[in-house]
Amino acid sequence: MSNKNKYSADSIKSLDWKEHIRLRPGMYIGKLGNGSSVDDGIYILIKEIIDNSIDEFIMGFGKRINVELNDNTIFVRDFGRGIPLSKLEDCVSKINTGGKYDSQAFKKSVGLNGVGTKAVNALSEKFQIESIRDNNSLKLIYGRGELIDKIESKKTTSRNGTKVKFIPDSNIFKKFNFINDYIETQISNYVFLNSGLTIYYNKKKFFSENGLKDLLVKYTENQKISYPIIHLKDKDIEIVLTHGYQYGEEYYSFVNGQNTSSGGTHLAAFREAIVKTIRDFYKKDFDASDIRASIISSISIRIQNPIFESQTKTKLGSTEIDENGLTVRVFINDFVKKNLDNFLHKNTNVSDELLKRILQSEKERKALSGIKKIANQRAKSANLHNKKLRDCKYHFNSKNIDDELRLNTSIFITEGDSASGSITKSRDVKTQAVFSLRGKPLNSFGLTKKIVYENEEFNLLQHALNIENGMDYLRYNQIIIATDADVDGMHIRLLLLTFFLQFYPKLVRNGHIYILKTPLFRVRDKNVTIYAYDENEKNNAINKLSSNHEITRFKGLGEISPGEFKNFINNNIKLEPVIFKENTSIQEVLSYYMGKNTQDRQNFIIENLIIENT
């Protein structure tokens, strides 16, 4: 029997808590990433620490949290009760230890598994925690989960609470960098969900008096809405809704303060309850899509022992709301039916405007129905999966998908066959797909959704992404625009962004759109090859190499060979996220860059191209 097939007691290994987390970090924080995506692990680390402070606030202890970011170091200070000093070490380094197992104290908390803070500890190159409780304090300092120093309990006059400081481990999070906009959105959600809580992030104050209503006010600040925001609230549920004039449906859902960006049972029940209540109120069997078209809404619920479909807690799987067997579906349906129906009866001005909006959506849908049927037939005959789309191995139309794997799927949108060919040959076929554009996309600014079905490129792209009926079945987590670093490439980027912002703004708002950064120069001598992304990097590379070197300027993606492309689209991929702040007007942005002011647009393209190339 060969040694490689030998199976004995020596083959069985036991990992301690930190080794297990470090060996399989995806099990605890989802994908790792470098900070360019809102769901990258470094933001989950922040969330895990702040969640504990939020739970203290919910229990009535501490109305303020301080959060600071300095040189990739995160500091969080709350003014809760402080962790009992004798249990501080267990709480940050012993799995299945924590106060949340006392169901009376944290009955409706997010993190009942006691893993969150331990994961942050294990995945940080430095982790420091100090608990202040009843004029005593204890500080622990760790390095990658190993206890380095323990500063014993001492008398202090500081207020009760907990201080945590950590730096994500650069051995795990390669070349990571925090993006302020992502953290600010995260913190904004915390205060919207917890009226009366104040959070200071780098000394900027975040506070909300009106809860979810303030969230929707922020998201609709610069866009037209059909009627004033409806705000309904009870002990364990809060909803807000209105209708705008954008394409698609926009929902922001939360469970026990956790942003469930992938929805789940509560969001499905909410969408169903809205349709049923409105049909009953108007006594008309409206099509569900007409009722929900252009809706902008949010729901927050609190339930006991929530079950999420992954450690990242982005999708609720629970069907019951408490130990009494009350289902999430019944709970939400009963609340919406009673409260929304009452509101519409009492506010006839709102119910009249809502009816007009539904009838308008019905008219638009019927006008599109014939065009959509023809376009769908054309998409099938175009043989999408052979000619335009080189798909990845996994297909994610199923609702029962692996969350960690889904988070790592991406699709490259390329210009021309040469670029798509190089990327296709060098990609990771398991998780990376390629869609090839033919020529420049149409400028869709100011056009109706009819153009999405009439224009073959848009229609096929829509089918490739599987977004015709909304974001629920989006097949790829990252949509990467891969164009040349020249004026034409920049123009194609703007045209694609116009298409997404005009018809699928949630793709941008939810952080799914990226720009692929590829090198402009290759500098090499006989021994070393260095790729440079701008002039400064090129000059630095020249200084590092011998005098006998050569410089290649890549004019387009098609000039980069498949062998070289592997360096840029797998482990070392550089992505620039397209970030669109919630209170920014999409129409104003599109009008400026894609409207009639062509000189402004040309200046923008040239100036940004210069910035990118220098």
Question: How high is the pLDDT of residue 361?
Answer: 95
Average pLDDT for 145-162: 90
Instruction: Summarize pLDDT for 352-389 with one digit per residue, the tens.
Output: 999 999 999 999 999 888 888 888 777 776 666 656 88
Q: Please, what is the Cα angle at 362 between 356 and 368, to 5 degrees?
A: 140
Average pLDDT for 284-300: 96
The reported pTM is 0.83
Instruction: Summarize pLDDT for 87-119 with one digit per residue, the tens.
Output: 999 999 987 555 554 545 455 665 544 578 999
Question: How high is the pLDDT of residue 15?
Answer: 66
Question: How high is the pLDDT of residue 609?
Answer: 47
Instruction: Summarize pLDDT for 591-606 with one digit per residue, the tens.
Output: 766 766 566 665 665 5
C-alpha dist (Å) from residue 179 to 35, 71, 185, 476, 582: 7, 12, 10, 22, 16
Q: Letter for the amino acid at 518?
A: T
Q: Domains in the chain and their CATH numbers?
A: 17-207 (3.30.565.10), 212-365 (3.30.230.10), 382-518+554-613 (3.40.50.670)
Question: How high is the pLDDT of residue 124?
Answer: 96
Residues 6+ apart with CB under 8 A from 326: 320
Computed on alpha carbons and rounded to an integer, the radius of gyration of the chain in Å comes to 26
Q: Which long-range contacts (CB under 8 A, 24 or more apart) does 224-232 make?
A: 225/296, 226/294, 226/353, 226/354, 226/356, 226/357, 227/349, 227/350, 227/353, 227/354, 227/357, 228/350, 230/340, 230/343, 230/350, 232/335, 232/336, 232/339, 232/340, 232/343
Instruction: Summarize pLDDT for 391-407 with one digit per residue, the tens.
Output: 887 654 444 445 556 77
Integer Cα distance of 93 and 96 in angstroms: 10
Question: How high is the pLDDT of residue 608?
Answer: 54
Closest CA to 474 of 445, 500, 448, 441: 500
Average pLDDT for 416-427: 84
Residues 6+ apart with CB under 8 A from 144: 18, 22, 122, 124, 125, 169
Statement: residue 2 has pLDDT above 70: no
**333 within 8 A of 272, measured Cβ to Cβ:** yes
Question: How high is the pLDDT of residue 18?
Answer: 87
Query: In DSSP terms, which residues pair with 70 in a beta bridge?
Result: 73
| Complete DSSP assignment for 427-489 | S-TTTEEEEEE-SSPP--TT--THHHHHSHHHHHHHHHHT-TT-GGG-S-SEEEEE--SSHHH
607 or 486, which is more confident: 486
Question: How high is the pLDDT of residue 238?
Answer: 96
**Mean of per-residue pLDDT scores for the chain:** 85
First to last CA, the chain: 62
Question: How high is the pLDDT of residue 315?
Answer: 84
Integer Cα distance of 131 and 145 in angstroms: 18
Residue 487 structure tokens = 């004026």
Question: How high is the pLDDT of residue 159?
Answer: 93
| Complete DSSP assignment for 184-234 | HHHHHHHHHHSTT-EEEETTEEEE-SSTHHHHHHHHTTTS--SSPPEEEE-
Statement: residue 282 has pLDDT above 70: yes
**Structural element, H or E, at residue 53:** helix 41-58
Most confident of 217-221, 353-357, 454-458, 512-516: 353-357
Integer Cα distance of 589 and 594 in angstroms: 8
Instruction: Summarize pLDDT for 554-569 with one digit per residue, the tens.
Output: 877 878 888 888 888 8
Angle between helices 586-594 and 487-503 (to 10 degrees): 150
Share of the chain above pLDDT 90, in %: 45
Other residues' Cβ atoms within 10 Å of the Cβ of residue 244: 18
Query: In DSSP terms, which residues pair with 178 in a beta bridge?
Result: none
Statement: residue 610 has pLDDT above 50: no
Question: How high is the pLDDT of residue 360?
Answer: 96
Statement: residue 189 has pLDDT above 60: yes
Q: Letter for the amino acid at 268?
A: A
pLDDT bracket for residue 68 (50, 70, 90): very high
Task: Point out the least confidently predicted range of 41-50, 219-228, 302-311, 451-460.
Answer: 302-311
Query: In DSSP terms, which residues pair with 435 in a beta bridge?
Result: 389, 413
Statement: residue 164 has pLDDT above 90: yes
533 or 232, which is more confident: 232
Integer Cα distance of 324 and 328 in angstroms: 12
Average pLDDT for 7-18: 60
Instruction: Summarize pLDDT for 240-275 with one digit per residue, the tens.
Output: 999 998 888 889 999 988 888 888 999 999 999 999
Other residues' Cβ atoms within 10 Å of the Cβ of residue 285: 7
Question: How high is the pLDDT of residue 222?
Answer: 80
Instruction: Summarize pLDDT for 522-564 with one digit per residue, the tens.
Output: 899 988 989 888 899 999 999 888 788 899 998 778 788 888 8
Question: How high is the pLDDT of residue 506?
Answer: 84
Q: Please, what is the Cα angle at 201 between 197 and 207, to 5 degrees?
A: 30
Question: How high is the pLDDT of residue 228?
Answer: 96
